[in-house]
Structure 1
Amino acid sequence: MPDKKVIAFFPEAAFGPALNSVGIAQAVEKLGHKAVFLTDPGMGGLYKGYGFEEHMVNMSEPMPPEEMAKYWSEFINGHIPNFRKSPYDQIDNYVKECWEAIVDTAKWAEKDLPKVLDEVHPDVVCVDNVVLFPAIKRYARENGKAWVRIISCSENELEDPDIPPHLSGCGENDSACHEAFRTRFNEVVEPIHDDFNAFLASCGEEPYPLGQFFEASPHMNLLLYPEPVKFKRRYPLDPARFQYLEGCVREEKHYEIPTFKAHNDKPLLYVSYGSLGSGDTDLLKRVIKAIAGMEVRALVNVGDYESEYSAAEIPDNVYIASWFPQPSVIKQADAVIHHGGNNSFTECLYFGKPAIIMPYVWDGHDNATRVQETGHGFKLDRYEWTDAELAGKIDAMLGDEAMQARLAATLRHMQGRHGPTKAADILQTLAG
């Protein structure tokens, strides 16, 4: 057995990055090392539930966990009208407010993070976020340790002039869309970026170019994006510093599919708009009503809003719940409808399942465009669709032999490499 090392994970306070890091941490511990999590108190208990040690780092004004959860739910639900807008038209509202909040998390973390790092004294620190936390660079530099950046969102979080800008939803070859989005994004975020650079200066760090809030690690950068859908870059990523993890799907307990009162022998759909997107209950109820008229079964994730659904609104071929062990469910489903979060995106590809992506914010726009461009599913406007159109897309996913063959090849590629094990081997090497 190798010497036992301590690998620290510091994911963004959101379920996508958190659960991806869990998958890597599980593989780290199988190699005989200790994985620990640095986490905002709002996510406290999540990692403990998987058996990991937690260390709290406030990333906002301290408040009880239930108030923190309520804050983010209200933040998202307050933007539901903006979900109808294009990615370009979201820059002035949702995107702007997100970056303001993200910069604030970096400032808050600087209060607790140095002390926590000194106490844990990890051999490697892995950070999954879109913003720099100066304390991590400083700790690595002063202690001769490595820090790793995990990119759990779309691959284009690492920019290149020939690929769509992050959050844009632009097509791979739509250079006019690329330029328009980049220009407007930089105009809107410039005051936020100036404030962030002032913060970096106060921490002894060099300023970033306009539009950049993070950098690639000099040690290693792990992309959860699968190679079968990656972009063609003008400047290819150096494998010595950048590795694709093919989804990095975590291990979850088996889920027993319930017996449905109707169509119990028909294809199974899984529908989820993520933990925050489930607040759009009008949309989910509309999808459920449409599915009622189809010869399919559906498991629908309604998040924290289960009480808002009456028994009369749930047809016999639909089962709702506030949470599902998603990898286990997707593995057993025939097709998926989701919001485009990177967990859902990569898990569908990992298990070879076609998807309809109905995006609303962030990298969901990029993943929706990409799933259609690469022939692994369809992009569908979140609101502008008819029951017949939705049914047609579902039928196409289930019956398209070329798409099924493409998904089967992607499944073989991803499962043949097993991202969590690959990541754990890399981290073990970096730990020395």
Structure 2
Amino acid sequence: MVNDQRLKIIFLAVDGVGHVNACVGLAQPLKKRGHDVIFLTNEFFAGTYEKYGFKEIVMKIARVKEIMEKNGNEKSDEHPCKAMSSIWKKFREDGALSGKPSIEKLNIFKIGGDNEAMNLMFESVKDQHPHLVDIIEKEKPDLIIMDQFVVPPCILFGKIPWAFLCSPCPRMLYETPDLPPRSSGYPSDDRTGWDEFEKMEEASTVGFIDGQNQINKEFGYSETSGKFTFISPYMNIYGYPEELDYSDTVTLPDNHIRVDAFCREANELFELPEEFKAKIKPGDKLIYLSMGSIGCYDIDLMKKLVKELSKSPHKFIISMGPASDQYQLADNMWGKAFLPQTNILPLVDMVITHGGNNTVTETFSFGKPMIVMPLFGDQYDNAQRILEKGYGSRMNPYYFKDGELNKTIDEIFSNEQIQQRCRKAGERIARANSKEKACEKIESIMAKLKISMNK
């Protein structure tokens, strides 16, 4: 740490496995460097951070309790998302989990609409706010690191420095007309449809800012200008390999800190079952399939993927998700509801993924090619980036024809350029030590802030 500066750091993540894992991935090296790390959470994820050795403060949120009391939303050690089952199942009903193009899904995530997950972001912040005021007063943190898009006003207008941890694709950090619209997944070399998408996306942004300002006013704070308030004036931390980053087109300000991947260290040992290992013969390829904790709620989609991959000569590890009891795997597969992904990735030869940012960056850091099958949001941008930069392929998970996915798998395995590109990226990331460098930059910024505040 810089000048023996021991910091007390509070982490706060939005309710989602990807957000939680990214925060843990950054908190681990900060703790190793001697900093005091505390996680604030609610009953959805209570106990999650303690498993990694962190102190937790559990906030009692009325809306969270109401959701957990719904039938079928029982909290389970098998998968953390089971407590939110009703929310994720509605993604399928609303059309978020469908083969519709990205532009047709924008209204599904409209603020103030019927999307329970989006509304929960705002409702939770309202419930959080009085708890946060008390916790900040009691704990007196030096820094708050937040992976959520609605900023509690006591943090936004408070005196404690805070950082935005951007766990999704960092396209949202780049304010420029020179890149495809965020969450569009459009090609960078073809501006067809950019204007139409940007107009629709702008309307969504206005709704988001209005929602933030309503919370500000409710707690006696002023309104903010017409821009995303989750971009911190102090520092913004994001996970994306330099090979994929948009810095080849636009440069971010100096207070933006990039890591190649947040890539948490697993806190459990892992071995494949002996029965499945016996099926893997010399020369066999092993492939990991993960459609994310939300995508796995689409049982029809998971059954379609299993049926297609059952015809492959390769072997598969399947992250089955919270609804694992509702479908069966084929003989060339093994899986569980929840798997220690960072332990599995070194074992496999390829990854098929929905394109969540953690899975993409973690796969990348282990030098593995991937097929990205995006479902919604930033996953489209990740899919297009992997395709354009030559680290794998992109497919619509709902509309591929029989044999098409297996053909794409074999094409990637036979493409030595893709294989070599991925290996080189993994080797560079192993040498780069980007998380340690990010911690050093956080410490440096905090040291400068302390000097300026004491003047």
- Give the TM-score taking structure 2 as reference length: 0.86
Q: Which residue of 2 aligns with 1:247?
A: 261
Cα distance, 1:59–1:130 mapped onto 2, change above 3 Å: farther
1:130 aligns with 2:149: yes
Q: Distance in 2 between matches of 1:110 and 1:174?
A: 44
Q: Distance in 2 between matches of 1:164 and 1:69?
A: 32
1:367 aligns with 2:382: yes
Identify which range, 80-89 or 35-44, moves more after superposition.
80-89
Q: Which residue of 2 aligns with 1:308?
A: 326
| Residues 325-384 of structure 1: CA deviation (Å, up to 9, x unaligned) | 001111111001111100111011100111111111121111111110111111100111
Alpha carbons 1:154, 1:367 under 8 Å: kept: yes
Structure 2 residue corresponding to 1:13, chosen from 15, 23, 26 = 15
Cα distance, 1:377–1:235 mapped onto 2, change above 3 Å: closer
Identify which range, 292-301 or 193-202, moves more after superposition.
193-202
1:283 aligns with 2:298: no
| Residues 40-78 of structure 1: CA deviation (Å, up to 9, x unaligned) | 321111101111111134566140754652333333343
Q: Which residue of 2 aligns with 1:162?
A: 178
Q: Which residue of 1 aligns with 2:288?
A: 270
1:180 aligns with 2:180: no
Alpha carbons 1:298, 1:319 under 8 Å: kept: yes
Q: Distance in 1 between matches of 2:48 and 2:103?
A: 34
Q: Which runs of no fewer than 5 residues in structure 2 stay unpaired?
A: 75-82, 448-455
Alpha carbons 2:91, 2:97 under 8 Å: kept: no
Structure 2 residue corresponding to 1:351, chosen from 363, 366, 380 = 366
Q: Distance in 2 between matches of 1:47 and 1:284?
A: 29
- The CA RMSD measured in Å over matched residues stands at 2.3
Cα distance, 1:264–1:79 mapped onto 2, change above 3 Å: farther
Deviation at 1:95?
Answer: 4.8
Secondary structure of 2:179 counterpart: coil
Structure 2 residue corresponding to 1:200, chosen from 210, 216, 237 = 216
Secondary structure of 1:13 counterpart: coil
What is the total number of aligned residue pairs between the two structures? 422
Q: Which residue of 1 aligns with 2:271?
A: 256
1:220 aligns with 2:238: no
Secondary structure of 1:229 counterpart: coil
Q: Distance in 1 between matches of 2:333 and 2:294?
A: 21
Q: Distance in 2 between matches of 1:245 and 1:290?
A: 35
Cα distance, 1:191–1:34 mapped onto 2, change above 3 Å: closer
Identify which range, 167-176 or 400-409, moves more after superposition.
167-176
Q: Distance in 2 between matches of 1:414 and 1:387?
A: 36
Deviation at 1:221?
Answer: 1.1
Q: Distance in 1 between matches of 2:405 and 2:435?
A: 35
Cα distance, 1:155–1:75 mapped onto 2, change above 3 Å: same
Identity of aligned residues (%): 27
Q: Distance in 2 between matches of 1:350 and 1:60?
A: 39
Identify which range, 24-33 or 157-166, moves more after superposition.
157-166
Deviation at 1:404?
Answer: 1.1
1:56 aligns with 2:71: no
Alpha carbons 1:248, 1:419 under 8 Å: kept: no
Deviation at 1:33?
Answer: 1.6
1:246 is matched by which residue type in structure 2?
A: D
Q: Which residue of 1 aligns with 2:452?
A: none
Cα distance, 1:331–1:254 mapped onto 2, change above 3 Å: farther
Q: Which runs of 4+ in 1 moved over 6 A?
A: none
Secondary structure of 2:293 counterpart: helix
| Residues 248-297 of structure 1: CA deviation (Å, up to 9, x unaligned) | 21111442123436454410010111112111111112211222211111
Q: Distance in 1 between matches of 2:257 and 2:143?
A: 16
Alpha carbons 1:294, 1:391 under 8 Å: kept: yes
Alpha carbons 2:14, 2:121 under 8 Å: kept: no
2:261 is matched by which residue type in structure 1?
A: G
Secondary structure of 2:193 counterpart: helix
Alpha carbons 1:59, 1:105 under 8 Å: kept: yes
| Residues 160-181 of structure 1: CA deviation (Å, up to 9, x unaligned) | 2211222221222333433211
Q: Which residue of 1 aligns with 2:346?
A: 331
Q: Distance in 1 between matches of 2:258 and 2:205?
A: 29
Deviation at 1:132?
Answer: 2.3
Q: Which residue of 2 aligns with 1:292?
A: 310
Structure 1 residue corresponding to 2:38, chosen from 36, 39, 58 = 36
1:41 is matched by which residue type in structure 2?
A: E
| Residues 5-27 of structure 1: CA deviation (Å, up to 9, x unaligned) | 21111111111111111111111
Identify which range, 212-221 or 4-13, moves more after superposition.
212-221
Secondary structure of 1:23 counterpart: helix
- Give the TM-score taking structure 1 as reference length: 0.90
Identify which range, 7-16 or 112-121, moves more after superposition.
112-121
Structure 1 residue corresponding to 2:89, chosen from 61, 65, 74 = 74
1:275 is matched by which residue type in structure 2?
A: S
1:413 is matched by which residue type in structure 2?
A: R
Q: Distance in 2 between matches of 1:414 and 1:270?
A: 21
Cα distance, 1:256–1:191 mapped onto 2, change above 3 Å: closer
1:285 is matched by which residue type in structure 2?
A: K
2:7 is matched by which residue type in structure 1?
A: K
Alpha carbons 1:79, 1:94 under 8 Å: kept: no
Q: Distance in 2 between matches of 1:106 and 1:6?
A: 22
Q: Which residue of 1 aligns with 2:434?
A: 419
Deviation at 1:196?
Answer: 2.9
Structure 1 residue corresponding to 2:129, chosen from 107, 110, 128 = 110
Q: Distance in 2 between matches of 1:59 and 1:164?
A: 38
Q: Which runs of no fewer than 5 residues in structure 1 stay unpaired?
A: none
Q: Distance in 1 between matches of 2:44 and 2:286?
A: 34
Cα distance, 1:79–1:419 mapped onto 2, change above 3 Å: farther
Q: Distance in 1 between matches of 2:433 and 2:411?
A: 29
